[in-house]
Amino acid sequence: MPRRPEIEAGRAALSRDRIIGAAIDLIEREGEATLSMRRIATELGVAVMSLYNHVPNKDALLDGVAERIIGGMEVGEVGPVGVRGEGVHWTERARALIRAYRKVAHDYPRCVTLVLTRKIDAPSGMRPVEHALALAEDAGFDGETSVRIMRALLAYAIGAQMREVGAAKLLDYLPKAAAERFDRLDPAEFPHVVSFQDQLMRHDPETDFEFGLDLMISALDALPRRQG
């Protein structure tokens, strides 16, 4: 049995997985801006260069973070097996899929931008795509339309998160500062923004999200297709 001083000391062995985990923790705790290889290393009680035995560079590490978070998405039931139309209705499956994106934003609020920004090379990144295609086809759409539907659904899912993050930054979580920003606006140039100020400042992501989701789903449901 080989000597494993790091285990004797109660520390787990270094690994790609642990490094990615530490990166996620750090981002959630302190933000992406301050994440550095050196910071991760000290967090793991290890020399910086040890990280490079498990990860080729920082860029690949960030890809790994995105991959891990997307891979952990609970994308919902794969849907009816066997007879078409059996099981959960496709509109409900679409809702579940898009809500899974929302859950990511909820569970990893400070990682969302990173996740939605990075390319995801690994197969697990394709699971939401597969899921969307499956439900569109089950709904009776042909291949070409299914691909377009998948793209439109993902666009909304992604954009809703991004817009929300952006709005949150703007509203600053400081109502005072946000209100001042509105006061600086010229009412002649921004009549609607000014007069709808109250609604605009109300932060109700859940309802907003479901409103847009309903729009997408109802539009899809009204689309002509091979069978109902």
Residue 70 · residue 31 · CB < 8 Å? no
Q: Which two tokens stand for residue 227?
A: 């069978």
Alpha carbons 14 and 45: distance in angstroms, whole number:
10
Convert residues 23-62 into a mask of x (bound to DNA by CB under 7 A) and - (unbound): -----------xxxxxx------xxxxx-xxx--xxx---
Determine which residue in the list 117, 179, 183, 206 makes contact with a copy of itself, applying CB under 8 A: 117
Q: Out of a copy of itself, DNA, none, which partner does residue 34 contact, by CB within 5 to 8 A per kind?
A: DNA
Residue 188 · residue 102 · CB < 8 Å? no
**Least distance to a copy of itself, CB of residue 14, Å:** 27
**Least distance to a copy of itself, CB of residue 125, Å:** 8
Which amino acid appears at position 177 of this protein?
Answer: A
DSSP character for 10? T
Q: Out of DNA, a copy of itself, none, which partner does residue 43 contact, by CB within 5 to 8 A per kind?
A: none
- 12 lines the binding site for DNA (CB under 7 A): no
Q: Under DSSP, is residue 176 helix (H, G, I), strand (E, B) or coil? A: helix
Q: Which two tokens stand for residue 6?
A: 């790091």
Q: Out of DNA, a copy of itself, none, which partner does residue 211 contact, by CB within 5 to 8 A per kind?
A: a copy of itself
- 14 lines the binding site for DNA (CB under 7 A): yes
Alpha carbons 35 and 49: distance in angstroms, whole number:
16
Distance of CA 162 to the CA centre of its chain: 9
Q: Tell which residue, 181, 211, 209, 212, has the closest CA to residue 194.
A: 181
Residues 173-212 that bind a copy of itself (CB under 8 A): 181, 184-186, 189-193, 195-196, 199-200, 207-208, 211-212
Q: Out of DNA, a copy of itself, none, which partner does residue 71 contact, by CB within 5 to 8 A per kind?
A: none
Q: Which two tokens stand for residue 157?
A: 């899912």
Backbone angles phi, psi at 147, to 5 degrees: -65, -40
DSSP character for 204? -
Which residues of this chain interact with DNA, rule CB under 7 A? 6, 13-14, 34-39, 46-50, 52-54, 57-59
User: In the complex, which residues of this chain contact a copy of itself (CB under 8 A)?
Assistant: 113, 116-121, 123, 126-127, 129-130, 133-134, 137, 143-144, 146-148, 151-152, 154-160, 162-163, 166-167, 169-170, 181, 184-186, 189-193, 195-196, 199-200, 207-208, 211-212, 215-216, 218-220, 222-223
